[in-house]
Amino acid sequence: MSALLRSLRDGRGFDGALALLALAYLFVFSAFPLIYNIALSFQEVDMFSLGDLIRPFVGLANYRTLMAAPEFWSVMGNTALFVGLCIVFQLGIGFGLALFFQQDFIGASYLRGLFLAAWIIPALVAGAIWKWIFAGDFGVLNYMLMSLGIVDERIFWLSTPAISLYSVVIANIWLGIPFNMILLSVGLAGIPKDMYEAAALDGAGAWGRFWHMTLPMMRSTLGAVVSLGIIFTLQQFDLFASLTQGGPANSSNVAQYWSWQLSFQNYDIATGSAVSVLMLGFVIVVAFLYVRSTREEHQA
Amino acid sequence: MANIAKKILLGAAGVLALTAAASAEPVELNVWTIDRQADPGYNYVMADEFTKLHPDIKINIKRVEFADWANEIMRAVATGTTPDVAYVDNPNTPFLSAKGALLDLTPYIAESKIIDTSKIFPGPLSTVTWDGKIYGLPRGSNTIALYYNADMFKAAGLDPEKPPQTWAELYETAKKLTDPAKNVYGLAFSANSNEEGTFQFLPWAQSAGADFDHIADDGAVRALEVWQKILDEKLASPDTLIRGQYDSMATFNAQNAAMGISGPWELPRMSKDAKFDFRVALLPIEKAGGNRASALGEGNNVIFAKSEHPKEAFQYLEYMYSQMPRVWNEFGFVPSYPVEAKDPKWPAQYAVFAESMKNARARGPSPDWAKISKAISTAIQQALTHQTDAKTALASAQTTIDGILKK
């Protein structure tokens, strides 16, 4: 007994106890909800059986219902387009800004701080502001474009099916740039300055230094930013809720918003869970790629 | 069997207690509502007055955001932590009563001196009835009608005494009143992709002979084609597709729309914001002299089946029900049973809304209303964005709805 106590206080038992705590935490707050969600997607669920664990098993019926929905493929396509465009532009612009503020000029760090404003604003507030900017009849953007003579007619950013998704993309790019910029700035700051000086002395031009030094040194940071970016983009819900509600006619609907609509507007929780399981599968692939890319980094 | 016996006993106990003097045990009732305290919120006012009459009953009000309502109620039902009394939007009531989440009020009402369900208008009554039993009491109702800016009518040479009566007149009037140079649309309404779009469309379809369970009828197709025409010719803002009723009517109040379709809940704000002569007319119908229909809005007060104090909860429901004559002036609801309206605010508008209440039809009632409604609003949006024509869109909604109703 005393041996066990001693081991718990100072020794293998202690290590084990610490690991167990972490595992218990992971199980309760990560694994359990995930498993519960996956289980929901294979069961027949209504609000009165939400609290039970044992419910009628329906196999793939929920997934079949989902795939049979006429909007399924357009929602999936929208989701891919939304994530793809957001990542490309958030990363591109964020990286550009990070490089820019890496230069030594007066006020560089203060200006960089200002960009954080977008990161601080809650997405719902950002949504309200963008709604006002994009409003068709009295929106700020239309007013600007028309007074500058760029367009003659108002553009209905949020209610034209061909445009609505791109409007949300623009708002989300704006929202995501600071996050990308800050993480990439941290990565850039980690590259020793003397390396650049040595390279410059050896005659490497600005482009050569970027291509052969900055990019390879930033590889793991970029991997992390892209993976986290994909996950954050797949989480983006508030902008859809405040700007278009997935409309008009599902033209700007994406998986995460659809899942919520199915569960909490149609009370079809099982099908809603099936959508989130599909998303989960995708995120696992992304996380796997991320882990692999950083692992190779360590080995190199 | 035991359950029935229990219900009878409970009912009998309730009756006994109602006639007896107030019991000595202090009782706490948990009440959920979507009202805002400052508005002045219906339930806050009612609870305050009720507890003054019954000092032995304490009421705890929890406010739930309308958008979170389903979420909160689902969690409460799943975990067995439902409140005693709650407000439920009328199309959602059958969803709860069909699944046994609500207390059957029939035995209580049978003994009540205050409540006579035969007086309740058929629309609201149908939303609280399930399988011949009563599961809630309407707290008030509302319905939609046509608001119009009489000053703009005069400026355009139209007679403000003669608001449009038919769809064709509505279209013509909207066309005359639309003035892009001044940022004025002829009409403001809501065709967004949720319940509000369905709520606004159904009366159009119903007055032309269709209904939610035969939504592909020609009448509904013609109604949807009128909506298409109004949007295609920009007589209403393209943002109609993504705006709710409250936001749409804000453009009417700001004189960016000459007419607007909405309900009496707009009146308090309108009388503050609208600096012009606003009037209300019955919602236009397809042909003069045809059937009228109007959508039934607002909701019901219900008691949850798991309530430990059904007797006191019912007393509270009775009290709220008895206050029906005040709901128009104080809360902007139209009474759900005929009351003598003394000195109503906005008397002309009251007359129109009270009149259109006679034609107000409930949505459904169906426990799967949310899915049915989604099918209809999807069809509306598909047709208005010309992804398909009105006939195809409504036919595919009909297929979805048939699938839901057959289950």
- Domain containing residue B132: CATH number: 3.40.190.10
- How would you classify residue B149: left for phi > 0, otherwise alpha for psi between -120 and 50, otherwise beta? beta
The yes-or-no verdict on residue A40 having pLDDT over 80 is: yes
* Cα of A49 to nearest chain B Cα, Å: 6
* Cα of A248 to nearest chain B Cα, Å: 6
Interface contact flag, A50 B80, Cβ < 8 Å: no
Residue B229 burial class via C-beta count within 10 angstroms: exposed 0-12, middle 13-18, buried 19 and up: middle
Q: Is the ipTM of this complex over 0.95?
A: no
B99 at the A interface (CB within 8 A)?
yes
pLDDT in tens, A1-14: 577 777 777 777 88
The yes-or-no verdict on residue B256 having pLDDT over 80 is: yes
Enumerate the residues of chain B whose CB falls inside 8 A of the CB of residue A167: none
Token pair, residue B6, equals 């229990």
Is 0.90 surpassed by the pTM of this model? no
Helix A32-40 crosses helix A269-299 at what angle (to 10 degrees)?
140
* Cα of A158 to nearest chain B Cα, Å: 7
**CB proximity list for B20: less than 8 A, separation 6 or greater:** none
pLDDT of B39 reads: 66
Which chain B residue has its CA at the smallest distance from A71's CA?
B378
Residue A48 burial class via C-beta count within 10 angstroms: exposed 0-12, middle 13-18, buried 19 and up: middle
Enumerate the residues of chain A whose CB falls inside 8 A of the CB of residue B384: 248-249
Asked if residue B202 and residue B176 are part of one domain, the reply reads yes
Asked if residue B172 and residue B250 are part of one domain, the reply reads yes
- Give the C-alpha separation, B177 to B140, whole Å: 34
Asked if residue B201 and residue B132 are part of one domain, the reply reads no
Enumerate the residues of chain A whose CB falls inside 8 A of the CB of residue B241: 159, 247-249
Alpha carbon distance, N-terminus to C-terminus of chain A: 48
Interface contact flag, B371 A247, Cβ < 8 Å: no
- Give the one of B74, B185, B242 whose C-beta lies nearest to A50's C-beta: B74
- Give the one of B75, B77, B193 whose C-beta lies nearest to A248's C-beta: B193
Enumerate the residues of chain B whose CB falls inside 8 A of the CB of residue A143: none
**Structural domain tally of chain B?**
2
Most B CBs within 10 Å: which of A159, A168, A243, A268, as the mutation test of the B interface?
A: A159
Residue A250 near residue A76, CB atoms below 8 Å: no
- Give the one of A137, A251, A261 whose C-beta lies nearest to B183's C-beta: A137
Asked if residue B373 and residue B352 are part of one domain, the reply reads no
Architecture category of domain A72-299 in CATH: Orthogonal Bundle (1.10)
Asked if residue B138 and residue B151 are part of one domain, the reply reads no
Residue A130 near residue A239, CB atoms below 8 Å: yes
Interface contact flag, B382 A137, Cβ < 8 Å: no
Q: By mean pLDDT, which of A69-83, B110-124, B244-258, B333-347 is the weakest? A: B333-347
The yes-or-no verdict on residue B56 having pLDDT over 80 is: yes
Asked if residue B48 and residue B118 are part of one domain, the reply reads yes
Asked if residue B283 and residue B207 are part of one domain, the reply reads yes
Domain that holds residue B183: 145-295+368-406
Interface contact flag, A247 B192, Cβ < 8 Å: yes
Asked if residue B251 and residue B172 are part of one domain, the reply reads yes
Residue A229 near residue A235, CB atoms below 8 Å: no
Q: A222 versus A49: which is more confidently predicted?
A: A222
Token pair, residue B213, equals 């369970």
Cβ-Cβ pairs closer than 8 A, A with B, add up to 92
* Cα of A51 to nearest chain B Cα, Å: 5
Token pair, residue A70, equals 């006429």
* Average confidence score pLDDT of chain A: 87
DSSP for B352-383, written as a single string: HHHHHHTTEE-S---TTHHHHHHHHHHHHHHH
- Give the one of A137, A158, A247 whose C-beta lies nearest to B193's C-beta: A247
Token pair, residue A104, equals 């030594």
Would you state the torsion angle of the CA atoms of residues A248, A254, A255, A257, taken in this order, to the nearest 10 degrees? -60
pLDDT in tens, B93-129: 998 998 889 999 999 999 999 999 999 988 899 999 9
Q: How confident is the model at residue A296 (pLDDT cuts 50, 70, 90)?
A: low
B234 at the A interface (CB within 8 A)?
no
Task: State the residue for tokens 């600071």.
Answer: A178
The residue count of chain A comes to: 300
Asked if residue B380 and residue B251 are part of one domain, the reply reads yes
- Give the one of A138, A161, A264 whose C-beta lies nearest to B70's C-beta: A264
Domain-wise residue ranges, chain A: 72-299
**CB proximity list for B126: less than 8 A, separation 6 or greater:** B362, B365
Which chain A residue has its CA at the smallest distance from B195's CA?
A265
pLDDT in tens, B352-390: 888 888 888 888 888 889 899 999 999 999 999 999 999
Asked if residue B216 and residue B91 are part of one domain, the reply reads no
Q: How confident is the model at residue A299 (pLDDT cuts 50, 70, 90)?
A: very low
Q: Which residues pair with B299 in a beta bridge?
A: B89
* Cα of A47 to nearest chain B Cα, Å: 5
